[in-house]
Structure 1
């Protein structure tokens, strides 16, 4: 089925080829002049650390953070954080900090070879999804989510952390096998326009700093040829307890965890003569730095301006207050730019301005006020950039309005209120990040209660004058950087360096004060005439109540205590764009733009202002087979969410200016789409999988010329004019007696004739037989492979579990063969897609990227693994891993609102028993070596085999 029309998001921040996030760092002193800082009196008082986290230090210098937290139950997040990264590498070790991270999973003293991964998978911990790590410039962090209801597994979790900290064995053969994996990681993440442009940008963005010569991925020639002693020396020098921290948050006894940390980590020692950990910084630039870069595969014309500044560590109430004001500024300026983007004469396709970490954390400790603009062509890029910079100057010259600040203030307070209400339902993983930041940067760790009180106090004290004064400091005369990235074909029309500098200098000429466009009226002029609940039925086994309303709509209610302040809902009715005729199909595909245009008299900008401080949100959606409503709210704002549902059903907004602007922007996206190899390949995949059916083909420029706003709007109105067949599922922290009157008022009143609705089978199916297609596009030695084994089948819970088990086993074998044995890929993927309608069908997918020379060898290896699992079935070990992981995921899912919303909706759509999950464990237990062999023989059938390959152009 062709995907519904959607304006593609354009990357807003330069995507450099890094392998991990970076976090702010303390200010450091170097011999070079560093970025200037405006003089600031450090007012305020120190922010105390949360007393609920136990912070300690062993005699060897290792720091630990321990917190008891019961969300999720019977689980813990264990982390090993190290204050080391690529900045610590010698010239002949470039890339070995990241390489060391890989080796942590390839054999330690207590877990030889792959024993660690095997052990954890049998305990239900998923490799990659749960068990993972990352390396950055100045930190390497290992994460291990682990169950706590198994004493042995939980204790071994700390043994694993200790093995990473000081017991990686670095066997020579394992080092050599991993070289190819890391080279393929570089290939998978790079070998594209972004990487090529990054290589030209980094000398500018990291000018005269060590960062420019210590990218975490390192240098390929070193990765290929370094001797084993180089990486062993790096590990010996830098993996030491005085640079490490253990973080443990979860459902456990704090004292027992402290004992486990002491027992496992106290024996670790520091070197007798430790190498000093030198701090590095980024020097400032007096004159603006300018770089114009083009690439044949670049899709968009993007201009970016940065004003670098020194960041501050969040330690005092004054620091906290300033962060709140930056938050307000970013929110208000972003809202202004969004308003402009909704206008037909907008000078840019997308734009953004804001203050935050420099290039998303490119250099820890450096922040920046950053702006960018995306234009339709190289010739219009100067105008687009000037328009964004003019908004910055408007902010600086005239400031913000009190009405804008009120909106920002309401939204901050609403979020603050929600965090307090959810304080005992906060996920353990969210605490981990706070403790990581404290260890790595010294940022304070306020308790939820302290942060709540401080936020309320400071937000009430912050004045418009204070915010406007801070906004004036964002545009600086030094440390300016201007960057242009554009398609090669646009080179002749791009602005020159002189023109860019002139735009920077003159953007504020002629700007006037901002005028607020708020609409002061209610969302609904009056409440609708309420309907009635005519029947109520309880499904006690799963805690669900089913209501039948007087208009025929059904509502399933699942009250939960998983969150204190969350209610989520969705609905569906059969139809969707399948009901469109061939003549108006293109217009129907754009029907998603109608709810994106606002509702009633409110455009999107005005709607956001109206709802400031209100968590209630609702809206409409249309996909290929269904249409319906979605929303969420805190309990106190649920009525607003339901009001929005009613408004989107009965009073949609027809906005020709916004609709035509979206179509115009999408034409620009499509015009440059063919430059990107990945986009061309994705379009080919979509076309082949739909058998080139005209309704399944990718959208092209000629399709856009066939689109009519009137047809799209009328299609939307017709879908929602009759809500017969709609079924709502509502999950969360609601009171049954409170929610029923709201349901009667806003859902039982939706127009519904009682007629039956269905979708149309338009015959969009994948091709039968063997299909092979090779696309030649791209400049680099990089291939992408997608293999499909598919067919029709009987859709039921028993078959689906057997297919999932087969997928899990095949995924393990493909990873072992293609990555560990062949060293030919970084992260191969095995996917399973199943659907019941319009015809029950399954897809197994094997996909990976690799060197072009290895395509045939790796495809052969993948198909060999398919053959082996057909011949022998999954191994008992792999089945054990599947069962453990499924059991653990079920335990987590059963206390998750989103899971229940999806589960109930899918059972209803597929006509399955709502109590199906009660037998889930039995179906999982029924998976055996023999059942996986039978399933493989039946469904891994190469009679329907699609082979799709992307190779560089000849």
Structure 2
């Protein structure tokens, strides 16, 4: 949806698949008169070579036999001259297109053959102030590991920047830029320069400008590389299952030879200057779908370096959390004043942070009400402050979060450490380690008072440097307020007779009386997956797999056949929305707000669902909170609630998004594809206000209760740090106590399948000169693990070839994508989806190239090297994902629902290794049938 928060939109200004980690929150020791610099975690070895190159090395075995290498450069688009705009990002691209030791595409080719996936594993990003390259590697292959460090060395200073490759890459980056075009980008252009006070950041977007990208001289690119890719601006972060001493020797040997330029350019730390002015900015666009207002107070960022900084950060964290809870209560009102509203303090950019207040509303006419409601809560806190009970809940949640991280310290993913050290290098953000942080937080929290958090608004809401940004659909521009009117709204609230907030206490017992327990009647060892299946006296089946992948995590899922397939046509809209509406209303004696308060300090979440063919619950819990999770499961089955006010709130907050949905090209395109692929069945129609009006609360509750009435049909799967001795009585007390009718109601087959044959559907929507293409091959299928593996190989080798041809050879796309999906029920079917974005002028040419590659694969089979890449990457991924609770929960649930053997995972490696080119060729010939596919194309309205 368009009309997103400004801060959400800002998150898109990093050019890569890997996001920049948000700054950590933190705090200070109460009563310490002098600020003390927080130490760096002693578990990491840090060093600086004579040439200025910095390194961080840490041993970590999560995941085992894997290591992450990150090359962090204090080099971004902010350093570009006017003639270089976009070249920092261009160099990131070129680093994958040839280095001293890996010419042209040999680097990507070598790593893919070694099992490293381009994009998913091997990646990079460029932002305003940094460029970061990432490379995850298995550590068993010593030669590969050695070459991984050599690649990092090459990236640091030895990209070849070949002119032929530069010219080929121009089109790729233009296509990447094209993908970003749309309402959000057009609105940003309307307020961006003013918001950034006309600073250097305002005209240094990392993606660059077309004149430079298309016509910039190769020597200009090389000059930027020589000036800024230098050791005094670089760091290598190495975290994984490695020997620290040996790794340090290798790093010193390789990176000590990096050279700084004879004449060093000063690395200026640019900032956004504060002007002392207030600004009022309006941005509208015909494709924008909602109306919003943001009030932003810009101020210098508060670094996280000392204990004093840490205390300030914890206070801000508590403030943000308490304000969030207050605004959440508005959503229970039948006519909430906003669709989304909130207040918070967060990092910005250019050395600034923001205190922001935002309201997204139904339409322009509701803007005054929404803005006043948001401002009223700020005014309420300014006058009366928070309550002690609010503060205690917030403190408990903070402590629980830190404690949970501490419990998992031996299972912390390497990526978490990499991000910490990256921020330490880039911004001097403290990284003292979880032992130190938990001790500090325990010391600080008791000393943080209501007075500390109550003064936050006065501290951060200043008389100057305030920006107001209004974003709305283009058709509503005339009805938007001017600056004087907006300011008058805030002044009117300040004169209101506002009452103090009353924090209503939540109940202390979730389940007043335990249900009559059932019992375990059978127990079967599942040797193939090191699990146990229990059969309970009410017919419930429970599969348990104890693991040691996480210290403080248990995930669970439950399912039974039925779902919305069993709803009547008339009641379908109520049925399809039942789990969302009823599930959000709370359980038993606890409404949504009271339940949230009750769960303070607990790590537990339970969410019911009703899908097309199944219904059930998903959730997770820390081992100590597992009984609470069991109680919630019991209540979601037996005591669901209906909340009329919340129901009306959901409808009223959904309505404007549906009213304006037709303005958004991507929504129209997606809706069109869903309708066509659903063969125009009414259950696949695009969402609309008319459908919203068909939802009835009583019908939602009735359908929900019917789907959860017979526990005998349910299978539960629990995976994680489970002690079966203590788990058995929980099963008997709660799961075996669930009501069971033994009706054995099965799925109703609806026969909704995509139409057969060749079909083309063009959608003309949008202003931008961009197109989106989807090719969908689908049909009946012979479901088996062998066929599934062959089809996955078809998708991957085709993806490799399309990347080579459409991107590298034709420079026509940024990233094509090929995916495969198979289903066993209600009918064996498959779908292979090919997608890419491109220029409208190139649509037919690129479709023709795609179909040519499809035909080649079906006729000749895959190139040996591409099949080997698929095998290497699949084996590499298999070795990592199978060491997670999430994988096993998904795998066991899927196998059980599909009635497939559980030992299949043990045969995956053998299936991958024995897969032949002939099998892939046959699968491609059978399923990439060029007489049975659907073409979808989204084109701008001007292309009609």
- With the shorter chain as reference, the TM-score category is over 0.9
Match of 1:50 among 21, 34, 41: 41
Tell me the equivalent position of 2:902. Answer: 914
Structure 1 position 331 matched with structure 2 position 317? no
- 1:291-314 CA deviation, whole Å, 9 max, x = no partner? 112110000101100011211221
Match of 2:129 among 135, 138, 162: 138
Note the C-alpha offset of 1:463.
Answer: 1.4
- 1:247-296 CA deviation, whole Å, 9 max, x = no partner? 00000100111111112111110001111111211121323200112110
SS of residue matched to 1:64: strand
Tell me the equivalent position of 1:85. Answer: 76
Match of 1:195 among 185, 193, 211: 185
Tell me the equivalent position of 1:169. Answer: 160
Query: Which whole-Å CA distance do the structure 2 matches of 1:722 and 1:253 have between them?
Result: 55
Structure 1 position 535 matched with structure 2 position 515? no
Contact 2:58–2:239 (Cα < 8 Å) also in 1: yes
Unaligned stretches of 5+ residues in structure 2:
25-30
Structure 1 position 107 matched with structure 2 position 105? no
Tell me the equivalent position of 1:15. Answer: 9
Contact 1:25–1:441 (Cα < 8 Å) also in 2: no
Contact 1:22–1:364 (Cα < 8 Å) also in 2: no
Match of 2:667 among 648, 668, 679: 679
- 1:388-410 CA deviation, whole Å, 9 max, x = no partner? 11111212221111110111111
- 1:356-377 CA deviation, whole Å, 9 max, x = no partner? 112xxxx242111111111111
SS of residue matched to 2:819: strand
What aligned pairs does 1:914-933 form with structure 2 within 5 A after superposition? 914-933=902-921
Contact 2:2–2:184 (Cα < 8 Å) also in 1: no
Tell me the equivalent position of 2:374. Answer: 388
Note the C-alpha offset of 1:856.
Answer: 0.4
Query: Which whole-Å CA distance do the structure 1 matches of 2:202 and 2:478 have between them?
Result: 30
Tell me the equivalent position of 1:882. Answer: 870
C-alpha distance 691-286 of structure 1, shift in aligned 2 (>3 A): same
Match of 2:358 among 365, 369, 372: 372
Moved more, 422-431 or 925-934: 925-934
Query: Which whole-Å CA distance do the structure 1 matches of 2:33 and 2:475 have between them?
Result: 51
Tell me the equivalent position of 2:306. Answer: 316
What aligned pairs does 1:482-881 form with structure 2 within 5 A after superposition? 482-510=468-496, 511-591=498-578, 592-881=580-869
C-alpha distance 333-660 of structure 1, shift in aligned 2 (>3 A): same
Contact 1:394–1:512 (Cα < 8 Å) also in 2: yes
Structure 1 position 209 matched with structure 2 position 199? yes
What aligned pairs does 1:247-286 form with structure 2 within 5 A after superposition? 247-286=237-276
Query: Which whole-Å CA distance do the structure 2 matches of 1:149 and 1:716 have between them?
Result: 51
Query: Which whole-Å CA distance do the structure 2 matches of 1:208 and 1:703 have between them?
Result: 46
Contact 1:19–1:216 (Cα < 8 Å) also in 2: yes
Note the C-alpha offset of 1:23.
Answer: 7.5
Note the C-alpha offset of 1:833.
Answer: 1.6
Match of 1:426 among 396, 412, 418: 412
Tell me the equivalent position of 1:149. Answer: 140
Note the C-alpha offset of 1:14.
Answer: 5.0
Query: Which whole-Å CA distance do the structure 2 matches of 1:18 and 1:549 have between them?
Result: 53
Contact 2:2–2:183 (Cα < 8 Å) also in 1: no
Match of 1:467 among 445, 450, 453: 453
C-alpha distance 508-833 of structure 1, shift in aligned 2 (>3 A): farther
Contact 1:618–1:642 (Cα < 8 Å) also in 2: no
SS of residue matched to 1:344: coil
SS of residue matched to 2:837: strand
Query: Which whole-Å CA distance do the structure 2 matches of 1:12 and 1:523 have between them?
Result: 39
- 1:194-219 CA deviation, whole Å, 9 max, x = no partner? 01011111111111311112111111
- 1:803-850 CA deviation, whole Å, 9 max, x = no partner? 011111001011111111110111111111211111111111111111
Note the C-alpha offset of 1:699.
Answer: 1.9
- 1:638-689 CA deviation, whole Å, 9 max, x = no partner? 0000100001111101101111111122111110000011110011000000
Moved more, 726-735 or 448-457: 448-457
Tell me the equivalent position of 1:32. Answer: none
What aligned pairs does 1:410-425 form with structure 2 within 5 A after superposition? 410-425=396-411
SS of residue matched to 1:473: helix
Unaligned stretches of 5+ residues in structure 1:
1-6, 27-39
- 1:896-933 CA deviation, whole Å, 9 max, x = no partner? 00000000000000010011111111111221111111
C-alpha distance 254-620 of structure 1, shift in aligned 2 (>3 A): same
C-alpha distance 536-836 of structure 1, shift in aligned 2 (>3 A): same
Contact 1:399–1:471 (Cα < 8 Å) also in 2: no
C-alpha distance 24-527 of structure 1, shift in aligned 2 (>3 A): closer
Contact 1:379–1:495 (Cα < 8 Å) also in 2: no
Moved more, 383-392 or 810-819: 383-392
Contact 2:23–2:347 (Cα < 8 Å) also in 1: no
C-alpha distance 88-12 of structure 1, shift in aligned 2 (>3 A): closer
Contact 2:231–2:258 (Cα < 8 Å) also in 1: yes
SS of residue matched to 2:800: helix
Query: Which whole-Å CA distance do the structure 2 matches of 1:131 and 1:846 have between them?
Result: 22
SS of residue matched to 2:429: coil
TM-score (norm 2): 0.97
Note the C-alpha offset of 1:18.
Answer: 1.8
Contact 1:394–1:508 (Cα < 8 Å) also in 2: no
Query: Which whole-Å CA distance do the structure 1 matches of 2:436 and 2:3 have between them?
Result: 38
C-alpha distance 214-549 of structure 1, shift in aligned 2 (>3 A): same
Note the C-alpha offset of 1:22.
Answer: 5.8
Contact 1:45–1:316 (Cα < 8 Å) also in 2: yes
C-alpha distance 226-14 of structure 1, shift in aligned 2 (>3 A): same
Match of 2:424 among 438, 441, 450: 438
Note the C-alpha offset of 1:146.
Answer: 0.7
Query: Which whole-Å CA distance do the structure 2 matches of 1:858 and 1:240 have between them?
Result: 39
Tell me the equivalent position of 2:27. Answer: none
Note the C-alpha offset of 1:755.
Answer: 2.3
Tell me the equivalent position of 1:29. Answer: none
- 1:83-141 CA deviation, whole Å, 9 max, x = no partner? 01111111101100000000000000000011111111111111101110011111100
Query: Which whole-Å CA distance do the structure 2 matches of 1:951 and 1:865 have between them?
Result: 23
Contact 1:572–1:627 (Cα < 8 Å) also in 2: yes
Note the C-alpha offset of 1:348.
Answer: 0.7
SS of residue matched to 2:936: strand
Note the C-alpha offset of 1:492.
Answer: 2.3
Structure 1 position 67 matched with structure 2 position 54? no
Moved more, 928-937 or 739-748: 928-937
TM-score (norm 1): 0.96
- 1:875-916 CA deviation, whole Å, 9 max, x = no partner? 111111111111111111221000000000000000100111
Supply the RMSD in Å over aligned alpha carbons. Answer: 1.7
Note the C-alpha offset of 1:168.
Answer: 0.3
Contact 1:876–1:928 (Cα < 8 Å) also in 2: no
Note the C-alpha offset of 1:171.
Answer: 0.4
Contact 1:772–1:948 (Cα < 8 Å) also in 2: yes
